[in-house]
Amino acid sequence: MNKKLSSFPLLLPTLSMISGILLCQILNSRVIIAAMLIISIVFYFIHKRYISILFCAAGFGSLCFIIYTLSQYQIPLNTPINIIANIQETKETTSGQSVTVDIINYSFNNKAYHIEKTPVKVQLNIPSLNPHLSIGYTIKAQLTIARPENIKYLPDQFTYAESLRNKGIEYTAFLLPDSISSLSPSGDLPMRLLRLRDDFSNFILKTELNPDTKSFLNTLITGDTGKLSPDVRDAFADSGLAHILALSGLHVAILSLFIFYLLYPLRITPLSNFTPIATIIILWFYALFTGMSPSVTRAVIMATIFLIAFMLQRSHNPVNSLCFAAVIILTFNPVAIYELSFQLSFLAVIGILVFYKKINRINPKRKVLYYIVGVFAISLSAMSFAGIVSAYYFHSFPIFFILSNALVSPIIPVFLFLGFIYLVIFSLHLPSGSIGNILDLLYKFIDGVTTFFTLSIESNIRNIYIEIPVLIVLIMFIASIAYLLYFKRTFSFVACGITFLSLVIILCTSEDIEAEGIYIVPYSSRTDIIYSSGKQLYVITTAPQSEHSKVKDDILISFKDYINRRGIEEISIGSDKQNNVLISYQSSIFNLPKGKIAICSSDSQYESFTDSLRFDYMIICRGFKGEVKDLVDKCTIDTLILSADLHPKRLSRYLQNCKELQQPVISLRDNKTPSFNKFL
């Protein structure tokens, strides 16, 4: 083993454990464990014991993944069940409430089932604000749970199912208020802490601070971004300061210092060792209080190791602490590796540990200059790995993140420290106006910085779309640069060269994005035909003219990535005539280079079809009241498409008619959409 790597004994075993978890997603889990065990035994007997340990670690990661997967309870879907669930998160919507719950018990067919290990997480959509559901309460209700399907009608479409799975939610349910039979405070300790967090959040919002200041302070302490306006959240994201709103090591470090100084008088008493112990206890309480997110858990584990080393007067290695934190989190929740907060938190710390000292070469004795350069160095280091992953997920990269962080990051510790003091004084009903004024001024400065970088200049590189192979090679390239900085061997130069060459090859051989495309998108109330060509997007919809603005809003939200990736600048909605180099749309008929498609959404459209017309596809929508036999007799139709907005009884009748007539048919309610691009 390399002498430099021997200082980080947990590094390679941690990477091996992660590899074992990832392999379980690709290959048969049992085969992986058996293979790892056999290989480990072989290396042990040929006296390659460190390599044996690495394969054991990979097998351990696979085993953790299997145990976690087996513990996930399979709950009955698409059938009414009675549930008992803990409320984890609530959010008001334009139509009611969106509530995230963990189901702990359910009954089905007169049998009760208890979910012991991994609770089933469900997103409830409630069309009312009464009763108002609160975090930390237990709800009893009857509902029908479904798994949202990950259906993509256009390339690069980000679906509702994907957005839920990024939050660890697999199921959804529509819940009527009348179906709620009971609502009461939960007695579980984690739920009590969540209620306490909610109460504490309300306490902060009742202070005498400026409304924007106390919303920001509440976010920094509790991690609840729901009280911030969308404009504020977007401003922080665009200026490269989104990490400040997410609870992380910065917040844990500031809290640790606050507790440490608060208990500092104990250092001069026989209870001096109680200070780090109390700090550790409070930090873990804070982790539970904020919901045990991966970023906070990682920071608290590292802080705990540091404080224990401080008590024992032992040296502390942050790389080993980071690896230990990863092992602990992944042992209990191996799928956390796929969560964005886990990835960004660990990658940011890795970047700081790897690059900070190499960038900030100023002598620490020159304190002012060392601190100034350090502010820039820590931002650049943290973004070295995390920035690539962030760009992959959010498709943008803040250009001036170094400057914005240099201006704001040094203020955050002061703001939080004063915020803690202000809350203590306010809770004691003592005069706190002067500290409150300082907090308001500090937030005004922070808000001014984010506003400047968001509105005054183009602060983001937008429409960044990175494919998985490119993402992997980019991370490997940064890692090989890091290896080169520390080891400076021939292998390092070769690794840099190979990864850079791989990146060039992938970019040069990647397929071009299709310039044109025509797609059908079904809704429960309308049907859209979307055609893109060059910088324009045409949408033919069965929605009435009064709803065309809503149609456009839906298109901009659902197909944002499709639009941005192709540089589409103009969207045309619902014109009766659309002519393009490739297609012509007139009187409900698409004339394509290699085919013909018709839309029949009214009896008048049916009457406009002349006899003996031939269509590759005809789409029957809600407005049509006629019979399938009349359409088939009047026109030659290769395949009928029944839209999702048809009444269920009419849909069933049309399907039966098609079966009797031996007419090929596709029902969009079955989530099957034909490809029209073959006709272009």
User: What local confidence, expressed as pLDDT, does residue 129 receive?
Assistant: 85
- Count CB-CB contacts under 10 A for residue 23: 20
Q: How far apart are CA 631 and CA 628, in angstroms?
A: 5
- What's the pLDDT score for residue 67? 81
Distance CA 175, CA 172 (A): 10
So what's the pLDDT on residue 2? 55
More confident call, 215 vs 271: 215
Q: What confidence score (pLDDT) does residue 576 get?
A: 56
- Contact yes or no for 459/453 (Cβ under 8 A): yes
Question: How far is it, in rounded angstroms, from Cα 235 to Cα 212?
Answer: 14
Which one is predicted more confidently, 581 or 262? 262
Contact indicator for 541, 548 with CB cutoff of 8 Å: yes
pLDDT at 608: 73
Alpha-helical regions (H) of 395-535: 401-408, 411-427, 433-451, 468-487, 490-509
Residue 509: HSE in the Cβ half-sphere, 13 Å Cα cutoff: 8
State which of 132-146, 235-249, 570-584 shows the largest mean pLDDT. Answer: 132-146
* pLDDT of amino acid 492: 67
Condensed to tens digits (0 to 9), the pLDDT of residues 222-243 reads: 888 878 888 888 888 888 888 8
DSSP 22-40: HHHTTS-HHHHHHHHHHHH
Least confident span in 172-186, 284-298, 584-598 = 584-598
Give kind and range of the element (H or E) at residue 195. helix 189-205
Query: How many of the other CB atoms lie within 10 Å of CB of 133?
Result: 21
**Count of Cβ atoms closer than 10 Å to residue 510 Cβ:** 11
Taking phi over 0 as left and psi of -120 to 50 as alpha, with beta for the rest, 619 belongs to: beta
Query: Would you say 290 and 222 are in contact if contact means Cβ atoms under 8 Å apart?
Result: yes
- The rounded distance, in Å, linking the Cα atoms of 394 and 236 is 13
How far, in Å, CA of 279 to CA of 496, rounded? 43
CA distance 182 to 192: 18
- pLDDT band per the 50, 70, 90 thresholds, residue 28: low
pLDDT at 667: 92
Least confident of 121-135, 294-308, 409-423, 494-508: 494-508
Q: Given a cut of 90, is residue 29 above it in pLDDT? A: no
Q: Tell me: pLDDT of 581 over 70.
A: no
Average pLDDT over every residue of 174-192: 88
In the predicted structure, residue 117 carries a pLDDT above the cut 80: no
pLDDT, tens digit (0-9, with 9 covering 90-100), for 39-97: 888 887 887 878 888 888 888 888 888 888 776 677 888 899 999 999 988 888 777 89
Angstrom distances, CA of residue 91 to CA of 96, 236, 266, 310, 558: 9, 21, 43, 42, 21
Per the document, the length of the chain is: 680
Band of residue 446 on the pLDDT scale cut at 50, 70, 90: very high
Is 665 a residue whose pLDDT tops 90?
yes
